[in-house]
Amino acid sequence: MLTRKQHELLLFIDHHLRTTGFSPSFEEMKDALSLRSKSGIHRLISALEERGFLRRHHHRARALEVVRVPDKSIEPAQAVATFAPNVIRGDFGANRLAGVRAAGDAAAVQLPLYGRIAAGQPIEALRDGGTQIEVPLAMLGSGEHYALEVAGDSMIEAGILDTDTVIIRKGETAENGQIVVAMVDDSEVTLKRLRRRGSTIVLEPANAKYEVRIFPADRVKVQGRLVGLLRRY
């Protein structure tokens, strides 16, 4: 018998693996379960491993395998909906999202699509204000938003793939561990996880092939943080 938190974590990991092909990070699991520290996630994973629901591949980074899903003691839709990643799949090439309006007409807004942002090495910022993309209003919170197309694979372990479109909430601040649009030296822009270390800013990829980059804090400006993801199949 699993506790509710163990059950929720197992469903979240299983859903994340099926959706992205990668295990979630401890930070993502902590946020999904609204825990204050990663130590709680470590304890839950160990408990799931001991009970035969989860297997860790220790020779690979962030490699989790769901061995089995328990009998549903809670309604599965309820559990999965709590943690479903903010990803919309469909064909939005003509500023439309196929399948977004599932039950009646859902409210949607037009966001500016500013061009391609590197999820590898930084590239020059592109700001083509003439292109728009339609996004369900339910994906957005308060504030001003814009969209960017991802170029590169340095964020694949965070579930962000080449050609995905990311939805960014404008802002100049971000918390440690959040994925942000960062502008370096007022000329280059990149999508990375942000860490602060003293007087420096660390731009951290989610792919072991890429190096962590460290800059003096005055060379990096946060342009917004990731709040959603659109994917075309």
pLDDT tens digits, the chain, 233 residues: what are they?
678 888 889 999 988 888 888 888 888 898 888 888 788 888 888 888 877 888 887 656 567 888 888 765 444 333 333 333 344 444 434 333 333 333 334 478 888 887 777 665 554 445 555 678 888 887 787 888 988 888 888 898 899 998 889 999 999 988 989 999 998 988 788 899 999 999 999 999 998 888 999 999 999 999 999 998 888 76
Query: Looking at residue 120, what is its pLDDT?
Result: 58
Q: How many CB atoms lie under 10 A from the CB of residue 216? A: 9
Structural domains in the chain, sorted by start = 4-85 (1.10.10.10), 88-231 (2.10.109.10)
Catalytic residue among 23, 25, 30, 192: 192
Number of helices followed by number of strands (H, E) in the chain: 4, 13
pLDDT of residue 128: 54
Q: Which of 23, 25, 30, 154 is catalytic?
A: 154
Q: Which two tokens stand for residue 144?
A: 């001003």
Active site residue 34: no
Q: What pLDDT is stored for residue 82 in this prediction?
A: 33
Provide the pLDDT for residue 69: 80
C-beta separation of 24 from 32 below 8 A: yes
Is residue 192 part of the annotated active site? The answer reads yes
d(CA 166, CA 4): 32
Tokens of 43: 């304890």
